[in-house]
Structure 1
Amino acid sequence: MPDSTRHLTLANGLQLSLRHAPRLKRSAAALRVHAGSHDAPSAWPGLAHFLEHLFFLGTVRFPLEDGLMRYVQALGGQVNASTRERTTDFFFEVPPAALAGGLQRLCQMLAEPDLGIERQRREREVIHAEFIAWSRNAQAQQQFALLQSVAGNHPVKGFHAGNRHSLVLGNAAFQQALAGFHQCFYQGGQITLSLCGPQPLDELERLGGQYAGNFATGARVPQASPPALATDKPLLFAQEGLPAGAEPALELLIANLGDNRPGSWLDALQQRGWLKGFKVEKLYAFAGQLLWHIDLKLAPDADSDEALKLLHGWFDFIRQAAPTVLNEAFGLLQQRRERSASALELARSDSAGHPYAALDSQTQHALEALLEQLPQRAYGQWQIPAADPLLLDQLPTAQATERPPALSISDLLPPARQFAALYLRWHVPCALRQRLHGVLERALQTMQLRCEQACVQLQFTASGEYWQLRCAGHPAAVVRTVSHALALMQAPDNWQPSPTDALAQIPIRALINQLPDAVLGNASAAIPSGTPDQALLDSAWQHCHWHGLAVGFDASAAQALNTVLQGCPGQGAMPTPAALWTGHRWRHAKVPGSENALLLFCPVAAGQQACGRLLAQLLQGPVYQRLRVELQLGYAVFSTFRQVEGIGGLLFGVQSPHATQAQILDHLRELLGRGATLDTNARQALSEQFDEPAMANADVAEWAWQTHLAAQPDGLLALKRSILMTQQADLDRLLRDLLSTDYAWLCLANSAAPAASWR
């Protein structure tokens, strides 16, 4: 059943966009203010971003502990905001019954913020910590350097994040500018609000009118036109004077650029063995201007001039190609994107005015204008690939085949969701498994690019002695993808490992990536000498053992999957749960970055999972309040419950520019020592998060996989009941256990362990 939409304008000038999507499990709101960092006074860089932060600190009506962030997090939802050049976006996703509460808080905090000077001082330090992290992040600095190649005085070259020095709180002119920016732009005429969910359109309209009507009445404020946009970088494209609809037109072009099947530009680079990495990013779009970049990584022996000639030849081919053929393929892709999108993704797309649809006559005209401005020449041999089979809903033909004994089936996710996930895991005792993993990772890169295009998630990871393949998306696409992936993994066409020169992540994210290895107790070791080859790979597959889990497949899709898995390498086996260590353990992860970062993972026994989840929920607010607001340790502070390698536990994370890892750990220990008070409303809300209809499809699949790894029943109903039965005494008992010196703590940090006394 297709979605139904409605668009209207409220009496205060606010544009309301509504989408009724019966298939959705959650509801979302996306509010766009048509003003951003380039609209703030140039004397105060970062003012718009600073204001965005201040909104989340609570108001008289909804203080911090009952504000939007705490409200959404307590429901297991998502909430965030983003200040761009000419827009500022606020968005959240919650269970449908909670949409009204979230929308009330969002509109109230934006319409009536508390801009008190003390909270400004505290939040400025958070902004400054973000600035320090940004200034030390290689990827951010590379993009900033790229923007400096833009000619003239265009504001995209400027600094707009804000820091302790640009946000001059004691200056009366700054305070006047801050209040004036809010008054000018945070009013009805400047706002587009999109609501999306399974609710009927009339209900969504009632909610939108009730809460969005609180904004002051106003008209759209003209935003100053930017100066000319130009650059001489060969893969940075600055375009001027484009008609309306240029952004959707660019989406079509990007979709074709990312197609790596035969006849495409990427395929031409792959055939020459030149392609190491590829990404296209839109950097700026406003008033007929577009700035976008092709981030292309080529092999050392590649001819970059020839690669550029091929690109220009491909541009020429696309410009002359039949627009109907291009648009039909794009429409099929957009249809899959819309059906795969979450409520939040749909709401954000609607608020930006970019629906998941093929180009209409206006946007097709914009595509013609966009292509005319691109460098082009007749060069190379090209063709438009046929419709991608990964976008087809029909299953491939399959013979009647028995299910492999090593494959388990979970019925947690109803097939009607049209979302399936397959997990395959191999125990690989081969000494060269790390090098072999790099080879297989590279072999799958081409397939992964196709999957990204078709809304299929394909991941191949390594932890300890294990390799894991995860594929999720439309069931037919998963079956086709896994069939191709298994063939590539058994016979790679390139024996070069995946490149290791990727841009460094911020320390806390790098630690999160290393957490599975740390939980398994996998110590870093020298890689044995030897060059991977087909014989070595064949031997590794012959001696490995595998097991898997399929979630969300109906009988027909499961039969097709059974056929594909007849070719799964290795010997079938049952999962062996990871062993839990005893006592406190510290692991030093040598990751790039100068800021101090620490993860504290505290596993809980299977019988205490419900209590552990409730404790993590109750600690979220106090951890954020103490570490980020009061102590201002940094902007990267979080606490949650996480399942890692089948082991569930409380996970705390902090990245700080000034507190040491030992100090961070002391603060966390002190917080745990304060205890937690049972909140029956929070307990009820947490239990409701584990209704399958309330969970994201991917979260249901991941829950099933983690319980499979732990060799535990995957019953969500039992977990709900256990949460509701948890009492204060259970929380106190678990906290006492957590604080005992023999409890299994894992500290993963980018430093060596402090003195032995930390235990």
Structure 2
Amino acid sequence: MPDTTRHLTLANGLQLTLRHAPRLKRSAAAVRVHAGSHDAPRQWPGLAHFLEHLFFLGTARFPLEDGLMRYVQALGGQVNASTRERTTDFFFEVPPSALGGGLERLCQMLAEPDLGLERQAREREVIHAEFIAWSRNPQAQQQFAVLQSVAGDHPLVGFHAGNRYTLALRNSAFQQALKGFHQRYYQGGQITLSLCGPQSLDELERIARQFASGFATGAKVVQAPAPALGSKQALLFAHEDLPAAAEQALELLLALLDDNASGGWRHALEQRDWLSGFKAEKLYAFAGQLLWHLDLQLGPDADRDEALKLLHGWFAFIRQADPVQLNSAFGRLQQSRERNASALELARRDSAGQPFAALDAAGLAAFRALLEQLPCHPRGQWQLPTTDTLLLDELPAAQAAPLPAALSTCGLLPAARQYAALYLRWQIPSAQRQRLQTVLERALQPLRARCERASVQLQFNAAGEYWQLRLTGNPPAVIRAAGQALALMQAPSNWLPTGPEAPPLIPIRALINQLPDALLGAAATTVVPCDLDQALLGQAWQHSCWHGLAVGFDASALQVLGAHLGNCPGQGTMPAPVPCWAGQRWHQANVPGSENALLLFCPLRPAQQAAGRLLAQLLQGPVYQRLRVELQLGYAVFSTFRQIEGIGGLLFGVQSPLARQAEILGHLRTLLSVGVTLDTNARQNLAGQFEETAMANAEVAEWAWQTYLATQPADLPALQRSILMTQQADLDALLGELLGPDRTWLCLANATAPDASWH
């Protein structure tokens, strides 16, 4: 059943968009305030971003412990906010029954924030920690440098993040500006609210009217126009005086530019082996101005001037192409994206006025205007891409075949979800597996790009002795992608793309990437690219063993899948029980970045995992409150329950510019020693999160896979019952074991182990 939408305006001026999407299992709300960093007084850089942070610190009606952040996290949902140049967005996703409670908290905290000076002082330090991390992040600094090439005195060249020195809390003029900004922009006329979920349109409208009417009545404020844009870079494209639908038009252009199919500009560079990195993105859009950037990373043998000339030639070809034909293909792509989008993605798109859809007449006019402002000089031989088979809804034609014995199936996801997951895992005994891994990653790169465009997730990764392929998305597309991936993995072309160079990660994220290797007792290594050696690869496959899991396929899809997996390399086997260890282990990781970072993973036995999940839920708030709010260790602080390589356990993570790893570990120990008090509501909420109807499809599939790796039954009702039966004594006993002399801990950090006292 297709989505249905409704648009209306409330009495206070607020613009409301409602989307009834019956296939969804969650609901989402997105508030867009039409004011951002460029609308704040220039003498107070960071004011808009600072205000966004203050909203989440609680109000008299909903204090921090019952505010939006804690409310959503307790339900296993998502919540965040973002301050841009001309807009500020707030959004969350929760089970449908909790949409009203979340919206009440969101609207109340935006309409009636507590701007007390003491909380401002604490949060300014968090902003300053973010600023330090931002200033040390190469990717963030690269984008900042790009914006510095904007010509003239446009505010894009300014500093807007805020730090300890720009947020003058004791200055009465600053406080007046802060309150004035809130009063001017956080009122009905400046706000767009979008609700999305499986509820009926009438129910969504009732919820919206009940809570969004609390915003003050106001008219839309005319945001001051900016000076003319200009560009000093060949790959930074600045546009002026475009029609209102220019953002949607740019989305079509970027979709064409990103397509690696034969006949396009990107494919031309890849065939020449020039392309090592590619990203095209919108940087700014407001009042007819549009700025977008092409981050083009070329190899050492590439001819940059020729690459630019080819780009201008491709622009000329697109300008002459039939826009209706281009838009028709774009519509199929957008339809695929909409079908696979989460409630949160749909709500955010609706609040921005950019639903997943082909361009309308105004959009096509904007597309033509956009092309007129691009440099166009005929050069090269081009053709429009053919229909991508990954976008087709019907199953591929194939003779039915039984599934390989090594592939298990799981019925947790009903076929009606139109979402499937395929996991294939090989044990590779070859000593050359790390070198060969880079060959396969490069071989899969073009297919991964096609999959991403078609809303199919293709992941190939390695941990220890294992290679793993994961495909998720619409079942027909997953089956087609699986057949193509297996063919590429067994017989890569003699030509392989160089592959994009991954941007450096912040330390805590780099540690998370290395955690699987650490759990398996393998050292993470830097793998250097190697040339294709087909004989070596064939030997590795010949001596490999594999097994896998299919989730979400109906009977007819499984028969077609069986035909595509008939030539899966390696000998079929079944997963072995996950090995465990006793005692404590410290792994030092070599990761980029200068800030201190530590992960603490406490693995649990299968019988402990219900209590462990509840303990993790009850610890989330105290860990955040103590480490981030009170001690202000840094902005990257989290605690959760995580399943990795079939091993479930408590995971704590902290990145700090000040505290050393041993100090972080000490704070975590202290928190654990304080203990927790059983909250029966939290227990009930946690159990409810493990209903299939409450879990995101990807979460169901990943839970099934991790349970399969642990050689445990995939029984969600049993997990729910175990959670509901957990008592205070169970939590106390688990904490006692975690802190006892025989505890099992894994510390992964970017530092050497402390002295023996850490034991």
TM beyond 0.5: yes
TM-score by length of 2: 0.99
Q: Does 1:229 align with 2:229?
A: yes
Q: Distance in 2 between matches of 1:7 and 1:400?
A: 47
Structure 1, 493-502 or 662-671: larger mean CA deviation: 493-502
| Compared CA separation, residues 756 and 532, structure 1 to 2 (3 A) | farther
* C-alpha displacement of 1:294: 1.1
Q: Distance in 2 between matches of 1:351 and 1:214?
A: 19
Q: How many residues in Structure 1 have an aligned counterpart in Structure 2?
A: 759
1:563-582 superposed Cα distances (whole Å, 9 cap, x missing partner): 11111111111112331111
User: SS where residue 393 of structure 1 aligns?
Assistant: coil
User: SS where residue 556 of structure 1 aligns?
Assistant: helix
| Compared CA separation, residues 525 and 202, structure 1 to 2 (3 A) | closer
> For the Cα contact (< 8 Å) 2:438–2:530, is it kept in 1?
no
Amino acid at match of 1:369: A
User: SS where residue 737 of structure 2 aligns?
Assistant: helix
1:527-578 superposed Cα distances (whole Å, 9 cap, x missing partner): 7998651100000000011101000001111111111111111111111233
> For the Cα contact (< 8 Å) 2:270–2:497, is it kept in 1?
no
Structure 1, 222-231 or 528-537: larger mean CA deviation: 528-537
Q: Distance in 2 between matches of 1:334 and 1:530?
A: 37
Give the match for residue 97 of structure 1: 97
Give the match for residue 740 of structure 2: 740
Give the match for residue 583 of structure 2: 583
Amino acid at match of 1:200: S
> For the Cα contact (< 8 Å) 1:440–1:497, is it kept in 2?
no
Give the match for residue 448 of structure 1: 448
Q: Distance in 1 between matches of 2:495 and 2:595?
A: 36
| Compared CA separation, residues 528 and 72, structure 1 to 2 (3 A) | closer
| Compared CA separation, residues 430 and 752, structure 1 to 2 (3 A) | same
Amino acid at match of 2:514: Q
1:101-158 superposed Cα distances (whole Å, 9 cap, x missing partner): 0000000000000000000000000000000000000100111111111111111111
Q: Distance in 1 between matches of 2:10 and 2:524?
A: 60
1:696-727 superposed Cα distances (whole Å, 9 cap, x missing partner): 00000000000010010010000000000000
Give the match for residue 339 of structure 2: 339
**Matched ranges for 1:598-617 at <5 A:** 598-617=598-617
* C-alpha displacement of 1:503: 2.0
Structure 1, 714-723 or 276-285: larger mean CA deviation: 276-285
Give the match for residue 135 of structure 1: 135
* C-alpha displacement of 1:499: 5.1
> For the Cα contact (< 8 Å) 1:259–1:266, is it kept in 2?
yes
**Matched ranges for 1:479-490 at <5 A:** 479-490=479-490
Q: Distance in 2 between matches of 1:61 and 1:505?
A: 39
User: SS where residue 216 of structure 2 aligns?
Assistant: coil
> For the Cα contact (< 8 Å) 2:438–2:527, is it kept in 1?
no
Give the match for residue 412 of structure 1: 412
> For the Cα contact (< 8 Å) 1:443–1:494, is it kept in 2?
no
Q: Distance in 2 between matches of 1:502 and 1:9?
A: 44
> For the Cα contact (< 8 Å) 1:438–1:497, is it kept in 2?
no
User: SS where residue 444 of structure 1 aligns?
Assistant: helix
Q: Does 1:349 align with 2:349?
A: yes
**Matched ranges for 1:98-137 at <5 A:** 98-137=98-137
| Compared CA separation, residues 404 and 247, structure 1 to 2 (3 A) | same
| Compared CA separation, residues 556 and 288, structure 1 to 2 (3 A) | same
User: SS where residue 403 of structure 1 aligns?
Assistant: coil
**Matched ranges for 1:427-438 at <5 A:** 427-438=427-438
Amino acid at match of 2:603: P
User: SS where residue 30 of structure 2 aligns?
Assistant: strand
User: SS where residue 576 of structure 1 aligns?
Assistant: coil
> For the Cα contact (< 8 Å) 2:398–2:560, is it kept in 1?
yes
Amino acid at match of 1:590: N
Q: Distance in 1 between matches of 2:584 and 2:462?
A: 25
Amino acid at match of 1:432: Q
Q: Distance in 1 between matches of 2:506 and 2:194?
A: 32
Give the match for residue 219 of structure 2: 219
Q: Distance in 2 between matches of 1:17 and 1:484?
A: 40
> For the Cα contact (< 8 Å) 2:12–2:216, is it kept in 1?
yes
Amino acid at match of 2:492: P
Structure 1, 274-283 or 445-454: larger mean CA deviation: 274-283
Give the match for residue 717 of structure 2: 717
Q: Does 1:197 align with 2:197?
A: yes
* C-alpha displacement of 1:496: 6.2
1:253-303 superposed Cα distances (whole Å, 9 cap, x missing partner): 111111111111111112111122211111111111111111122221111
* C-alpha displacement of 1:756: 1.1
Give the match for residue 674 of structure 2: 674
**Matched ranges for 1:173-322 at <5 A:** 173-322=173-322
**Matched ranges for 1:569-648 at <5 A:** 569-648=569-648
User: SS where residue 626 of structure 2 aligns?
Assistant: helix
> For the Cα contact (< 8 Å) 1:432–1:527, is it kept in 2?
no
1:606-663 superposed Cα distances (whole Å, 9 cap, x missing partner): 0011000000000000000000000000001000000000000010010000000000
Gaps of 5+ in 2: none
Q: Distance in 1 between matches of 2:270 and 2:668?
A: 49
Give the percent of matched residue pairs that are identical in Structure 1 and Structure 2: 74
Give the match for residue 665 of structure 2: 665
Give the match for residue 402 of structure 1: 402
> For the Cα contact (< 8 Å) 1:329–1:387, is it kept in 2?
yes
User: SS where residue 446 of structure 1 aligns?
Assistant: helix
Q: Distance in 1 between matches of 2:2 and 2:731?
A: 46
> For the Cα contact (< 8 Å) 1:435–1:532, is it kept in 2?
no
**Matched ranges for 1:490-505 at <5 A:** 490-494=490-494, 501-505=501-505
Structure 1, 485-494 or 368-377: larger mean CA deviation: 485-494
1:712-755 superposed Cα distances (whole Å, 9 cap, x missing partner): 00100000000000000000000000001321101111111111
Give the match for residue 373 of structure 1: 373
Q: Distance in 2 between matches of 1:298 and 1:563?
A: 40
1:2-28 superposed Cα distances (whole Å, 9 cap, x missing partner): 111111111100001111111110000
Q: Distance in 2 between matches of 1:620 and 1:504?
A: 28
Q: Distance in 2 between matches of 1:533 and 1:340?
A: 38
Q: Distance in 2 between matches of 1:218 and 1:553?
A: 51
User: SS where residue 641 of structure 2 aligns?
Assistant: strand
Amino acid at match of 2:67: G
1:409-431 superposed Cα distances (whole Å, 9 cap, x missing partner): 00000011000010000101111
Amino acid at match of 2:731: L
Q: Where does structure 1 differ by over 3 angstroms across 4 or more consecutive aligned residues?
A: 494-501, 524-532
Amino acid at match of 2:266: L
1:79-122 superposed Cα distances (whole Å, 9 cap, x missing partner): 00000000000000000000000000000000000000000000
| Compared CA separation, residues 18 and 527, structure 1 to 2 (3 A) | closer
> For the Cα contact (< 8 Å) 2:235–2:294, is it kept in 1?
yes
> For the Cα contact (< 8 Å) 1:407–1:549, is it kept in 2?
yes
Amino acid at match of 1:44: W
Amino acid at match of 1:22: P
Amino acid at match of 2:512: I
Q: Distance in 2 between matches of 1:25 and 1:149?
A: 45
Amino acid at match of 1:176: Q
Amino acid at match of 2:129: A
Q: Distance in 1 between matches of 2:528 and 2:344?
A: 47
Kindly report the root-mean-square deviation, in angstroms, between the aligned alpha carbons of the 2 structures: 1.3
Amino acid at match of 2:749: A
Amino acid at match of 2:226: P
Amino acid at match of 1:468: Q
**Matched ranges for 1:499-518 at <5 A:** 501-518=501-518
| Compared CA separation, residues 201 and 115, structure 1 to 2 (3 A) | same
Q: Distance in 2 between matches of 1:503 and 1:200?
A: 43
Q: Distance in 2 between matches of 1:302 and 1:426?
A: 36
| Compared CA separation, residues 689 and 415, structure 1 to 2 (3 A) | same
Amino acid at match of 1:330: F
User: SS where residue 459 of structure 1 aligns?
Assistant: strand
> For the Cα contact (< 8 Å) 1:246–1:288, is it kept in 2?
yes
Q: Distance in 1 between matches of 2:532 and 2:376?
A: 42
Structure 1, 624-633 or 270-279: larger mean CA deviation: 270-279
Give the match for residue 553 of structure 1: 553
User: SS where residue 93 of structure 1 aligns?
Assistant: strand
